[in-house]
Structure 1
Amino acid sequence: MFLQRSAVAVARRAALAPAFRRSLATTAIRRDASESTPATKVKAFHEIKNIDDLRGPGAAPGTVPTDLEQSTGLERLEILGKMEGVDIFDMRPLDASRLGTVDNPVLVRSAGEEQYAGCTGVPADSHNVIWLGMSRERPVERCPECGSVYKMEYVGPADDHHDHGHGHDHHGYEEPKSFANYVKPQYW
Structure 2
Amino acid sequence: MFLQRSAVAVARRAAFSPVLRRTLATSAVRPTAPTTKFKRLSEVKTKDDLFGPGAATGTVPTDLEQSTGLERLEILGKIEGIDVFDMKPLDASRLGTLEDPILVRSAGDEQYCGCTGFPADSHEVIWLTTSRERPVERCPECGSVYKMEYVGPEEDAHAHDHGHGHDEHAWVEPKTWADHVKPSYW
TM interval, shorter chain, is 0.7 to 0.9
- Spell out, residue by residue over 1:2-26, the C-alpha distance to the aligned partner (whole angstroms, 9 max, x if none): xxxxxx8xx77x777668xxxxxx9
User: In the alignment, does 2:57 pair up with 1:57?
Assistant: no
Which residue pairs with 1:93 in the alignment?
89
- Spell out, residue by residue over 1:133-165, the C-alpha distance to the aligned partner (whole angstroms, 9 max, x if none): 11111111111111101111111111123379x
Question: Percent same amino acid among aligned pairs?
Answer: 69
**SS of corresponding position for 1:74:** helix
* Structure 1: gaps of 5 or more residues: 1-7, 20-25
Q: 1:144, 1:175 → 2: CA distance? A: 20
Moved more, 146-155 or 50-59: 50-59
Which residue pairs with 1:77 in the alignment?
73
Match for 1:137 among 111, 133, 139? Answer: 133
**SS of corresponding position for 1:125:** coil
TM-score under structure 1 normalisation? 0.77
Which residue pairs with 1:68 in the alignment?
64
Q: 1:18, 1:145 → 2: CA distance? A: 76
Match for 1:149 among 130, 134, 145? Answer: 145
Aligned pair count reads 172
Which residue pairs with 1:176 in the alignment?
174
TM-score under structure 2 normalisation? 0.78
Q: 1:16, 1:172 → 2: CA distance? A: 82
Amino acid at match of 1:58: G
Where in structure 1 do 4 or more consecutive aligned residues deviate above 4 Å? 14-19, 26-29
Call closer, same or farther: CA 1:16–1:181 in 2, change over 3 Å: farther
Deviation of the 1:49 alpha carbon: 2.3
Call closer, same or farther: CA 1:41–1:177 in 2, change over 3 Å: same
Which residue pairs with 2:21 in the alignment?
none
**RMSD between aligned alpha carbons?**
3.1
* Structure 2: gaps of 5 or more residues: 1-7, 19-23
> CA contact under 8 A between 2:160 and 2:170: conserved in structure 1?
no
